[in-house]
Amino acid sequence: MKNIITMLQIYLVWLTLSLFEKSSGQIVITQTPASLHVNPGDRVTIQCKASSSISNYMHLYQFIPGQKPKLLIYRATSRFEGTPDRFSGSYSGTDFTFTISGVRPEDAAEYYCGQGYSTPFTFGAPTKLMVKQRDDAAPSASIFPPSQEQLKTNSATMVCLVTGFYPSDLNVAWKADGKAVTGDVQTSSAASEADKTYKLSSTLTLSRDEYNSHDTYDCEVTHKTLTKPLVKSFRRSECPS
Protein backbone atom coordinates (compact mmCIF):
# COMPACT_ATOMS: atom_id res chain seq x y z
CA MET A 1 0.00 0.00 0.00
CA LYS A 2 2.89 2.32 0.81
CA ASN A 3 4.31 1.79 -2.68
CA ILE A 4 0.94 2.57 -4.25
CA ILE A 5 0.63 5.82 -2.30
CA THR A 6 4.19 6.77 -3.26
CA MET A 7 3.39 6.22 -6.92
CA LEU A 8 0.19 8.25 -6.57
CA GLN A 9 2.18 11.10 -5.07
CA ILE A 10 4.52 10.91 -8.07
CA TYR A 11 1.51 11.11 -10.37
CA LEU A 12 0.30 14.21 -8.55
CA VAL A 13 3.68 15.92 -8.91
CA TRP A 14 3.76 15.02 -12.60
CA LEU A 15 0.22 16.33 -13.04
CA THR A 16 1.13 19.62 -11.38
CA LEU A 17 3.95 20.06 -13.89
CA SER A 18 1.90 18.90 -16.87
CA LEU A 19 -1.63 20.23 -16.42
CA PHE A 20 -1.28 22.98 -18.97
CA GLU A 21 1.07 21.23 -21.39
CA LYS A 22 -0.13 19.25 -24.39
CA SER A 23 0.31 15.50 -23.86
CA SER A 24 2.94 14.17 -26.24
CA GLY A 25 3.48 10.65 -24.86
CA GLN A 26 3.03 7.34 -26.62
CA ILE A 27 -0.37 6.77 -25.00
CA VAL A 28 -3.03 9.31 -25.96
CA ILE A 29 -6.00 9.90 -23.66
CA THR A 30 -9.22 11.09 -25.29
CA GLN A 31 -11.50 12.64 -22.67
CA THR A 32 -15.11 13.79 -23.12
CA PRO A 33 -17.09 15.95 -22.68
CA ALA A 34 -15.20 19.24 -22.61
CA SER A 35 -17.78 20.83 -20.30
CA LEU A 36 -20.88 20.00 -18.28
CA HIS A 37 -23.43 22.44 -16.86
CA VAL A 38 -25.67 20.57 -14.41
CA ASN A 39 -28.06 21.00 -11.50
CA PRO A 40 -27.29 19.85 -7.95
CA GLY A 41 -28.27 16.21 -7.57
CA ASP A 42 -27.67 15.33 -11.22
CA ARG A 43 -25.62 12.31 -12.25
CA VAL A 44 -22.70 13.03 -14.57
CA THR A 45 -20.18 10.85 -16.36
CA ILE A 46 -16.74 11.55 -17.77
CA GLN A 47 -15.50 9.23 -20.51
CA CYS A 48 -11.80 8.54 -21.06
CA LYS A 49 -10.32 6.31 -23.75
CA ALA A 50 -6.70 5.21 -24.01
CA SER A 51 -5.09 4.75 -27.41
CA SER A 52 -3.68 1.38 -26.32
CA SER A 53 -4.03 -1.06 -23.46
CA ILE A 54 -3.11 0.32 -20.03
CA SER A 55 -4.70 -2.40 -17.87
CA ASN A 56 -6.54 -0.47 -15.13
CA TYR A 57 -3.94 2.30 -14.74
CA MET A 58 -6.30 5.22 -15.33
CA HIS A 59 -6.78 7.80 -12.60
CA LEU A 60 -9.13 10.75 -12.07
CA TYR A 61 -7.93 14.10 -10.73
CA GLN A 62 -9.80 17.22 -9.64
CA PHE A 63 -8.35 20.68 -10.17
CA ILE A 64 -9.78 23.82 -8.56
CA PRO A 65 -7.96 27.10 -9.38
CA GLY A 66 -5.80 28.20 -6.48
CA GLN A 67 -5.61 24.69 -5.00
CA LYS A 68 -3.34 21.71 -5.51
CA PRO A 69 -4.57 18.97 -7.87
CA LYS A 70 -6.43 16.27 -5.96
CA LEU A 71 -6.40 12.57 -6.76
CA LEU A 72 -9.96 11.18 -6.53
CA ILE A 73 -9.83 7.71 -8.07
CA TYR A 74 -6.80 5.53 -8.83
CA ARG A 75 -6.52 2.40 -10.95
CA ALA A 76 -9.93 3.02 -12.50
CA THR A 77 -12.15 1.96 -9.59
CA SER A 78 -10.45 2.68 -6.24
CA ARG A 79 -11.38 5.84 -4.34
CA PHE A 80 -8.40 7.63 -2.85
CA GLU A 81 -8.50 8.45 0.86
CA GLY A 82 -11.08 11.17 1.55
CA THR A 83 -12.88 10.86 -1.80
CA PRO A 84 -16.68 10.92 -1.25
CA ASP A 85 -18.52 7.75 -2.24
CA ARG A 86 -20.55 9.68 -4.84
CA PHE A 87 -17.44 9.38 -7.04
CA SER A 88 -16.96 6.02 -8.76
CA GLY A 89 -15.18 4.50 -11.73
CA SER A 90 -15.47 1.54 -14.08
CA TYR A 91 -13.74 0.30 -17.21
CA SER A 92 -13.86 -2.14 -20.09
CA GLY A 93 -10.72 -2.63 -22.14
CA THR A 94 -9.37 0.83 -22.99
CA ASP A 95 -12.64 2.63 -22.18
CA PHE A 96 -12.95 4.20 -18.73
CA THR A 97 -15.97 5.87 -17.15
CA PHE A 98 -15.94 8.09 -14.07
CA THR A 99 -19.27 8.96 -12.47
CA ILE A 100 -20.47 11.50 -9.93
CA SER A 101 -23.83 10.40 -8.51
CA GLY A 102 -25.67 13.30 -6.91
CA VAL A 103 -23.50 16.27 -7.86
CA ARG A 104 -22.95 18.92 -5.19
CA PRO A 105 -22.08 22.61 -5.71
CA GLU A 106 -18.60 22.03 -4.29
CA ASP A 107 -17.92 19.54 -7.10
CA ALA A 108 -17.60 22.41 -9.60
CA ALA A 109 -14.04 22.02 -10.92
CA GLU A 110 -11.93 20.74 -13.79
CA TYR A 111 -11.43 16.98 -13.99
CA TYR A 112 -8.54 15.20 -15.69
CA CYS A 113 -8.02 11.56 -16.61
CA GLY A 114 -4.40 10.46 -16.40
CA GLN A 115 -2.71 7.17 -17.22
CA GLY A 116 0.10 5.75 -15.09
CA TYR A 117 0.80 2.63 -17.10
CA SER A 118 3.87 3.90 -18.92
CA THR A 119 6.05 6.99 -19.00
CA PRO A 120 5.67 9.69 -19.95
CA PHE A 121 2.43 9.85 -17.99
CA THR A 122 -0.26 11.43 -20.16
CA PHE A 123 -3.55 13.18 -19.52
CA GLY A 124 -6.77 13.95 -21.30
CA ALA A 125 -8.07 17.42 -22.04
CA PRO A 126 -10.02 18.68 -19.00
CA THR A 127 -13.73 18.33 -18.40
CA LYS A 128 -15.04 21.53 -16.83
CA LEU A 129 -17.95 20.80 -14.49
CA MET A 130 -20.22 23.74 -13.72
CA VAL A 131 -22.92 23.23 -11.10
CA LYS A 132 -25.94 25.49 -11.18
CA GLN A 133 -26.17 27.52 -7.98
CA ARG A 134 -29.61 29.11 -8.42
CA ASP A 135 -32.35 29.95 -10.94
CA ASP A 136 -31.36 32.02 -13.96
CA ALA A 137 -31.58 35.78 -13.37
CA ALA A 138 -31.65 38.61 -15.91
CA PRO A 139 -29.10 41.42 -15.58
CA SER A 140 -29.67 45.05 -14.68
CA ALA A 141 -27.35 47.72 -16.04
CA SER A 142 -26.36 51.33 -15.39
CA ILE A 143 -24.16 53.60 -17.49
CA PHE A 144 -22.08 56.50 -16.21
CA PRO A 145 -20.51 59.25 -18.38
CA PRO A 146 -17.02 60.61 -17.71
CA SER A 147 -16.65 63.21 -14.99
CA GLN A 148 -15.95 66.82 -15.86
CA GLU A 149 -12.78 66.60 -13.81
CA GLN A 150 -11.48 63.76 -15.96
CA LEU A 151 -12.32 65.55 -19.20
CA LYS A 152 -9.92 68.28 -18.15
CA THR A 153 -7.12 65.69 -18.43
CA ASN A 154 -7.88 65.03 -22.12
CA SER A 155 -9.27 61.59 -21.35
CA ALA A 156 -12.83 60.26 -21.09
CA THR A 157 -13.82 57.03 -19.33
CA MET A 158 -17.37 55.71 -19.38
CA VAL A 159 -18.50 52.95 -17.01
CA CYS A 160 -21.18 50.30 -17.46
CA LEU A 161 -22.14 48.41 -14.28
CA VAL A 162 -24.04 45.15 -14.75
CA THR A 163 -25.55 43.37 -11.74
CA GLY A 164 -27.92 40.62 -10.64
CA PHE A 165 -27.35 38.06 -13.40
CA TYR A 166 -26.99 34.27 -13.45
CA PRO A 167 -25.28 32.33 -14.94
CA SER A 168 -22.01 34.20 -15.19
CA ASP A 169 -21.55 34.16 -18.97
CA LEU A 170 -22.37 37.67 -20.20
CA ASN A 171 -21.12 40.01 -22.92
CA VAL A 172 -20.82 43.80 -22.93
CA ALA A 173 -20.34 45.83 -26.12
CA TRP A 174 -19.90 49.59 -26.53
CA LYS A 175 -21.30 51.75 -29.33
CA ALA A 176 -21.00 55.41 -30.22
CA ASP A 177 -23.74 56.91 -32.39
CA GLY A 178 -24.89 53.37 -33.16
CA LYS A 179 -21.52 52.02 -34.30
CA ALA A 180 -19.06 49.76 -32.49
CA VAL A 181 -16.31 51.67 -30.70
CA THR A 182 -12.65 50.77 -31.17
CA GLY A 183 -11.33 52.50 -28.07
CA ASP A 184 -9.82 50.99 -24.93
CA VAL A 185 -12.46 48.61 -23.52
CA GLN A 186 -11.80 46.81 -20.23
CA THR A 187 -14.37 44.35 -18.85
CA SER A 188 -13.88 42.74 -15.45
CA SER A 189 -14.46 39.09 -14.64
CA ALA A 190 -17.88 38.28 -13.20
CA ALA A 191 -17.83 38.41 -9.39
CA SER A 192 -20.20 36.37 -7.25
CA GLU A 193 -22.63 38.06 -4.86
CA ALA A 194 -24.15 36.69 -1.63
CA ASP A 195 -27.35 35.68 -3.46
CA LYS A 196 -25.29 33.68 -6.01
CA THR A 197 -25.89 36.22 -8.78
CA TYR A 198 -22.99 37.94 -10.51
CA LYS A 199 -21.84 41.47 -11.22
CA LEU A 200 -19.22 43.01 -13.46
CA SER A 201 -18.15 46.36 -14.81
CA SER A 202 -16.96 47.47 -18.23
CA THR A 203 -15.15 50.69 -19.08
CA LEU A 204 -14.61 52.49 -22.36
CA THR A 205 -11.78 55.03 -22.47
CA LEU A 206 -11.36 57.53 -25.32
CA SER A 207 -9.37 60.67 -25.86
CA ARG A 208 -11.35 63.82 -25.11
CA ASP A 209 -11.37 64.78 -28.80
CA GLU A 210 -12.74 61.40 -29.87
CA TYR A 211 -15.30 61.49 -27.06
CA ASN A 212 -16.47 64.91 -28.21
CA SER A 213 -16.83 63.67 -31.80
CA HIS A 214 -19.82 61.50 -30.82
CA ASP A 215 -23.04 62.24 -28.97
CA THR A 216 -24.86 59.01 -28.05
CA TYR A 217 -23.03 56.26 -26.17
CA ASP A 218 -24.53 52.79 -25.62
CA CYS A 219 -23.63 49.95 -23.31
CA GLU A 220 -25.13 46.80 -24.87
CA VAL A 221 -25.52 43.70 -22.68
CA THR A 222 -26.28 40.19 -23.96
CA HIS A 223 -27.14 37.26 -21.69
CA LYS A 224 -28.97 33.94 -22.04
CA THR A 225 -31.98 35.30 -20.11
CA LEU A 226 -32.52 38.16 -22.57
CA THR A 227 -34.52 37.83 -25.80
CA LYS A 228 -32.79 40.97 -27.08
CA PRO A 229 -29.80 43.00 -25.87
CA LEU A 230 -30.23 45.22 -22.82
CA VAL A 231 -29.10 48.72 -23.84
CA LYS A 232 -28.26 51.61 -21.54
CA SER A 233 -27.38 54.98 -23.10
CA PHE A 234 -26.49 58.58 -22.44
CA ARG A 235 -26.13 61.63 -24.68
CA ARG A 236 -22.99 63.69 -24.28
CA SER A 237 -24.89 66.85 -25.25
CA GLU A 238 -27.18 66.36 -22.24
CA CYS A 239 -24.37 65.92 -19.70
CA PRO A 240 -23.38 68.86 -17.46
CA SER A 241 -20.67 70.98 -19.05
pLDDT tens-digit readout, 84-116: 999 999 999 999 999 999 999 999 999 999 999
> By mean pLDDT, which of 5-14, 141-150, 196-205, 232-241 is the weakest?
5-14
Report how far apart, in Å, the C-alpha atoms of 6 and of each of 3, 9, 97, 109 are.
5, 5, 25, 25
pLDDT band at 183 (very low <50, low <70, confident <90, very high): confident
* Strand (E) or helix (H) holding 2: helix 2-18
105: left (phi over 0), alpha (psi -120 to 50) or beta: alpha
What is the set of domains in the chain, with CATH numbers? 2-131 (2.60.40.10), 140-238 (2.60.40.10)
Report how far apart, in Å, the C-alpha atoms of 237 and of each of 36, 88, 97 are.
48, 64, 62
pTM of the model: 0.62
pLDDT tens-digit readout, 31-74: 999 999 999 999 999 999 999 999 999 999 999 988 999 999 99
DSSP string of 173-198, one letter each residue: EEEETTEE--SEEEEPPPEE-TTS-E
User: Cα separation of 218 and 232, whole Å?
Assistant: 6
Q: What is the pLDDT of residue 8?
A: 53
Q: Which amino acid is at 92?
A: S
Q: What is the pLDDT of residue 2?
A: 41
Q: What is the pLDDT of residue 11?
A: 52
Whether 18 shows a pLDDT value over 60: the answer reads no
Could you tell me which of 126, 121, 107 has the C-alpha nearest to residue 17? 121
* Strand (E) or helix (H) holding 64: none
